[in-house]
Structure 1
Amino acid sequence: MIKAGIIGATGYSGAELTRLLYSHPDVTIDFLCTNSYVGEDFSNIYPNFKQFINKKCVSIHEAFERLPYIDVLFTALPSGKALEFGKRAMDNNVKLIDIGSDFRLKEKDLYKQWYNLDHKYPDLLCEAVYGLPELNREAIKTAKLVASAGCYPTASSLALIPLVSNNMINLASIIIDAKSGVSGAGRKASTSNLYVECNESIKAYGVTTHRHTPEIEQTLSTIAKEDIKLTFTPHLVPMNRGILAVCYGKLNKAYTTEDLIKLYKSFYAKDYFIRVNDELPETRWVKDSNFCDISLRVDQRTNTVIAISAIDNLIKGAAGQAIQNMNLMFGLEETTSLKINPIFA
C-alpha cells in the first residue's frame, strides 16, 4: 500500500483529496495535517466523513516527524506555504505532489513578479514536472516532484493545446474568458466570498493581474516553442464549484466547426478524462468528476474559433488531477479511484 500524507487537509481541495484517497484501493492515509484544527477529529470539521475517517488532525511538527514513514506527500496550501514541505520531502526521498502554485513556474523571477514571492528553492523548480497528465504523462511517471496544474490553467490549456500544437491560430490573438465557482477562492473567511456578497451577482477579478496567467502562457509557449502572451480574465459566479473557460483565437486559415471537433476527438482519443462533444459544455455535466468536457464553434464571419471547456475546479482542477498524477508516479492505472460518474443536482 502507498502511504500518503496530506498537508492542508481541511481546505476544500484537501478535503476532496481525502475523500478520493479514502476509496483508493492502493493507498492508506497516514496523516491529515492542518494548521487550524490540530487535535480535532477530521469528521467533526467535515461531518460527511463520519463513519468513514476516524483520524485527528496533526500539527506541522508531527507531519514533519512522519515524513520518513510515508511514500507520497500532498500539499494543498496557499502560495508560498509549500516550499519548506517540498524541500523536506525531497530530503527524505518522499515523492511530492503540490496542489498549490509553488513549483509550477520554471522561472523564479516570475514568482517575484506575479506572487511577490522570493522563491527559496529555485533548484526544485528545475526538478518539478508540471502535472497536467494529458500533456506530460511520460515525464510524470518518473517524477519525484509534481506540480499539479491549477484549475483555470487546466481548463484553459486543455481547450487550447490542440489548436496551438497544430499551428491553427494566431498566437497573439488568444483571449480567455473564464468563470469559477466560489470554492475556487478557498475556505479562508473573506468578506468578498460571503453568500450575501456573491449571490445574485457576477464579477470579473484579477483583471490583467491573475496569477494563473503566467502558468497558462508557460504551458502554451512550451508547446508552440515561442513566447506567448495572452489575455486572461477570470470571473466569480454564485455557484459552489465548476469552471467554464471560453477561449478565443483567430484561425490561420478557414476551418469548419466539424473539422475542429473531429481533430479534437482524434487528439484526445487516448485521454480517458477528456470528453470532446458536439454539444457545448456545462459545468453541471462534470460536477464531482475528473472529466473535462470540451467543444468548439467557428465564427465564419470573423474567422475566430471559440474553444470551450468545463471542469470541476476541486476535482480535475485540484484533488482528482493530483491523484491522476500519483497513479502515474506509482505505476498504477491512471484512472484508479477516479472513474466517478458526474452528479446532477
Structure 2
Amino acid sequence: MKPRKDISMKDIAAKSGCSTATVSRVLNRQGGYSEQTRQRIMSIAEELNYSTGHSDAPRIGILVPDLTNEWFAETVRCLEQKLYEKGIHCFISSTNEDPSRERFCFEGLTFLKASAVISFLGSPELVSLAGSAAFPVLFIDRIPQTPGKFLCLESDNYIGGYMATELLIQKGCQKILFLGRNHQASVIQSRRRGYQDALKDYGFPVNPELILDIEHPDRPYERSRDLICYALKKKIDFDGIFASSDLRASGALQALKQNGLDVPGQVKVIGFDDASVCRQCYPALSSVHQDPEIMAKHAVDLLFRQFQQESRLSEHVVLPVSVVERGTT
C-alpha cells in the first residue's frame, strides 16, 4: 500500500496525544523521548500508513555569500556532513552577495517548504524576510541588528580583532593598519571595533589614515595587494597590519614583499580565519583561528533544539577564538 499523501505529523500527534514536536523528534530519530512514546508514535504512523520519508521530514536550506571563500566552503561542508548523518537533506545556495539573488534563493526555500534556513547573510532585506518566514532562521557570522528575534551563532569576532591587534602591539608595533572591507556586516564591524579598542587600551590613537577598506567582495587577494601597494606609494607609515581575513592578509603580504619590505622585520602581519592559505604563504601567516567543524556542530545542535520546541527560539551563541602565531609576527 502506498503512503497516504494526506497524512501529516499533526494527524499522528492528535491520535497519539503527543505534541507535533515530539512526533517530529521520533520520526526523525532526534532523541529526547521514551521508548514507550517511540513505540506508540511509530505504531500510529504505521496504522495511518504514514511514511517517514514523507515531505514533513526536515529539509534545511543553507544560504552562503561566496563558496570560493574557504571558511564559508569548509563550514558548509561540515554542516552538510552533520545533517547527512542525521538523515536530513539540505539545499545550498550561493548568492554572490547580490540582494536580488538573496531574495530569489530565500523565496525558493519558502516554496520548497524548508523546515529551517541557515544563513551566512545578514542584509536588512533578508532579515526582514526571515522575520516573517514560517520556518526558523539561524544566522551564522553575520548577525542582525535585532538578534533577539532569531537564532544566532558566531565566533567572537570582537575578541579576535582585539587579540590580533594586541599581539602586534606586544611584538613592538606602534602604527597598526587595519585592512578590511567597506561593508556593514556585523563580522567586519566587530573585528574593526576589537582593533580600535585594543589601540585605545594600550594608549595608541586610532588613526583614520590607517583604516583601509576594499570596496568590492570579489578578488580579495588582488584588491588587498593593490591597496597596500597604493598605501606604500602614498608613504602611509605603518609597521603592522591586521587584516580582517586571511585572503586579505595574504594579499597584503605579497604587496610588502613586492616592495622589498622584510616581514616580520619591518612590518608584521596577522589575518583572521586560520585558513589553509596561512600555511601556504612564506613566511607562514599568523591568524585568528575559528573552527568550521565546531561552528557546524553548534549550528546543528541549535536547530535540533528548535525542532523540539513548539514556539520559536531566540538564542545568541558566541564561540571562542584563539591566535595562531606563525612567521609573519
> Going by fraction, where is helix more abundant, 1 or 2?
2
TM-score of the two chains, using structure 1 as the length reference: 0.35
TM-score (norm 2): 0.36
Over alpha carbons, which structure has the higher Rg? Answer: 2
